Chain A
Amino acid sequence: MTVLELGSQPAGARDIPAPAAAEFDLDIRGVSKRYGALKAVDNSSLAIRKGEIISFLGPSGCGKSTLLNMIAGFITPDAGDIRLAGRSLIDLPPNRRETGMVFQHYALFPHMTVKDNIAYGLEARRQPAALIRERVATMLSLLKLDEFGGRYPAELSGGQRQRVAVARALAPQPKVLLLDEALSALDKNLREEMQIELSLLLRRLQITTILVTHDQAESFAISDRIAIMERGRIVQVGTPEEVYRNPVSSFVLRFLGSANELPAVVEKAADGRPVAVARCGVRVAEPAAGQPGDDVGIFVRSEDTRLSKQPTELHPGQSGVITLVTFLGSVSRFVVDVGGLQVVADYPADFRALAVGDKVYIDAERAHVRVMTVDAER
């Protein structure tokens, strides 16, 4: 399966039919960028619909920021094309691309007031003064900044600066909004508040948006679709639910939420059918991946993991022992030592049926148990 296919035909994108080419607003086609031996972005393709909010999600160094900067024009791709509303952006300098970017640390102009910051893009595009005044006022009220128009960035709180950065990027009515880790500098409460606010605002404005983030919760909270990137490639594209429910690889699965990973080997059962057997005794018959003799991983998300006092079909072997119970507010987390391996099971917070020292077996619905090949590098 090539990356190109993955990108243009996201796995499991069944409920959202792939749109016709004309509907695409931003079309990234086979874009690559190398830095010496490092492939920062490797032949990536992605089509984004008008008004769609999409996240580039991945660990640091996966190429998501490079891809974003190529869209903004700050980095020139070695190969491929980026088209906005049917027109190639490749030969346009950044100041003529009509993208609006919100920078990680906001990059507000410290020598300009909030109003002047917001007006900057309009002035650069030589809009009439009356229109500038009106747009600035609109943006100030849209982002609840009315009282702060005359302040300098240094006189604002982190959250206020964030709003100014968004207002400044949106003021010239760009064709696409680019958010580069835009919320990561805020503290947790403020970040969650802003996620909701931004989600609502972007949907109201119906502006095509790309959000670059390494934070799964953030990408889930804001985006319609998520493009997960790994080492320069887009490995899966889909709605948050799709990518969470049907990760295409152990990498995607590991990156989204917390999962128990049990190293296993595919064996031939007595009846001749393959079975994945983990060293700790967990077994999965007819695994979806792997030939007999292959090393695979058995994955169960912690919220799908159940503990049983009796041996289960999944875990008929030697029992594990509960070594730790922690209360995490929304869940209670049980840590089980199974043959030297830590397995985590999250139960509703008030679950008290099990305690430290109990001998337990691991259980899960068959649909929640995934057997996947593990990346050779890991």
Chain B
Amino acid sequence: MTAQAIDTIAPRRETTLSAAWRRRMARAAPWLWLAPGIALFLPFFIIPMAVVLRNSFNRDDPLALMVSDLTLENYANILTDSYYLTVFSNSILVSLGVTVGTLLLGYPFAYYLVRHAKASRGFLLWVVYLPLMVSVIVRAFGWIVITADTGLINSVLMATGILKQPLIMLFELESMVPAMIHRYLPLMVLPLINAIGKIDDSLYSASANLGASHARTFRKVILPLTAPGIVAGSQLVFANVLSDFVIPNLLGSTRFRLLAPVIYEEAAVQVAWATAAALAMVMLVLVTLMLLLSNWTFRRLAPWARTL
């Protein structure tokens, strides 16, 4: 009798179980799209970041190597030392400057490309992508050739008699900032092209039809509607400049130090891994804060964006 009861119940339970399982799978299925990303992210980003975080609480022994510890000493040192604070403010200043520079250069370019370029569109897009295709090292050496004391600019200015002494550009902001703008321009221009391209032609017509001048149309319609592109591009450029090592290292001034080279120096030259880790964490916090701040500001200033 019992056996019989089990016989009749068991298959039924099995079907409900598998149905429940199938339902659970169906709910989980969309998350599977994240699997490749997580597979890459977890071992190659999350875990190393966790190691760096842990290291930042260790102690550097100047006579030996990093000593395991659990101290906030590194953070205290970094955040009270005017030298590091200057490095942070330098980095934020340069990041903001390069962001504004790429925006001022990139916006008209993207606008022209989307609104007016016809035959030249493909060529102009190629010009935008070009820097992405050439190694940054190669480009940096290009900038050295241009901005060196005996470089292209100085040779021309001195040969034409405009200058007696060469302009000191190389290893100063004067060569580093243009090189950074050059490097990160695509990151600004591509989201802008996307944002400007999304604006329907009829909005320009509607604005004009309602009596608005070109300037007013730009200010009241085009600029606000491209704000998502401006924010996206600015975030990309800001975060990338803040973490740029190559250009400050090859073209920058050691009198105006930036974060990434300083972190590198702590880790590789001074073998001060804990200090380097703490600096890296502060940098991560800085980038995160900047992203949160810009997102929050954007949400406040453009409440319409969430309706789209």
Contacts and interface: CB of A to CB of B under 8 A. Distances in A.
B212 A110 contact: no
B37 interface: no
B307 A101 contact: no
A93 B305 CA distance: 31
A72 B209 contact: yes
A152 interface: yes
Contact of B209 (A101, A109, A113): A101
Contacts of B121: none
B307 A94 contact: no
| Among B212, B213, B304: residue with most chain A CB under 10 A | B304
Given A94-B208, A103-B206, A120-B207, A110 B304 contact: yes
B220 A94 contact: no
Contacts of A104: 202
A154 interface: yes
Given A110-B304, A112-B304, A152-B307, A105 B210 contact: no
Nearest to B305: A111
Given A110-B308, A121-B210, A154-B308, A101 B225 contact: no
B203 interface: yes
B225 A110 contact: yes
| Among A94, A99, A108, A153: residue with most chain B CB under 10 A | A94
B305 to A, nearest CB: 8
A96 interface: yes
Contact of B210 (A93, A152, A153, A168): A168
> Size class of A's contact patch?
20 to 34
Contacts of B216: 124
A20 to B, nearest CB: 30
A97 B211 CA distance: 8
A349 to B, nearest CB: 42
Contacts of A96: 211
A111 B304 contact: yes
A107 B200 contact: yes
Interface in A113-148: 113, 120-121, 124-125
A108 B225 CA distance: 12
Contacts of B208: 73-74, 93-95
A103 B200 CA distance: 12
Interface in A144-177: 152-155, 168-169, 172
B211 A107 contact: no
| Among B225, B302, B305, B307: residue with most chain A CB under 10 A | B307
A120 B220 contact: yes
A74 B205 contact: yes
Nearest to A151: B307
Interface in B190-235: 200, 202-203, 205-213, 216, 220-221, 224-225
A65 B118 CA distance: 24
A5 to B, nearest CB: 32
A100 B209 contact: yes
B210 A172 contact: yes
A105 B206 CA distance: 11
Contact of A125 (B205, B211, B302, B308): B211
Given A94-B208, A95-B208, A95-B209, A107 B307 contact: no
Contacts of A72: 205, 209
A172 B211 contact: yes
B226 to A, nearest CB: 10
A152 B213 CA distance: 24
A155 B307 contact: yes
A314 to B, nearest CB: 51
Contact of B307 (A74, A124, A154, A169): A154
Contacts of A172: 210-211
A120 B210 contact: yes
A124 B212 contact: yes
A166 to B, nearest CB: 13
A179 to B, nearest CB: 12
B218 to A, nearest CB: 13
A229 to B, nearest CB: 21
Contacts of A74: 205, 208
B210 A124 contact: yes
Interface string B224-255: 11000000000000000000000000000000
Contact of A107 (B203, B302, B308): B203
A78 B146 CA distance: 51
Nearest to B213: A95
Contacts of B210: 95, 100, 120-121, 124, 168-169, 172
B202 A103 contact: yes
Contacts of A154: 304, 307-308
Contacts of B207: 95, 109, 120, 124
A100 B205 CA distance: 11
Interface of A: 72-74, 93-101, 103-105, 107-113, 120-121, 124-125, 152-155, 168-169, 172
Given A99-B209, A124-B211, 8 more contacts: A74-B208, A100-B209, A107-B205, A109-B225, A120-B220, A154-B308, A155-B307, A168-B206
17 contacts: A74-B208, A93-B208, A95-B209, A95-B210, A101-B205, A105-B200, A107-B205, A107-B206, A111-B302, A112-B304, A121-B210, A125-B211, A152-B304, A152-B307, A154-B307, A169-B209, A169-B210
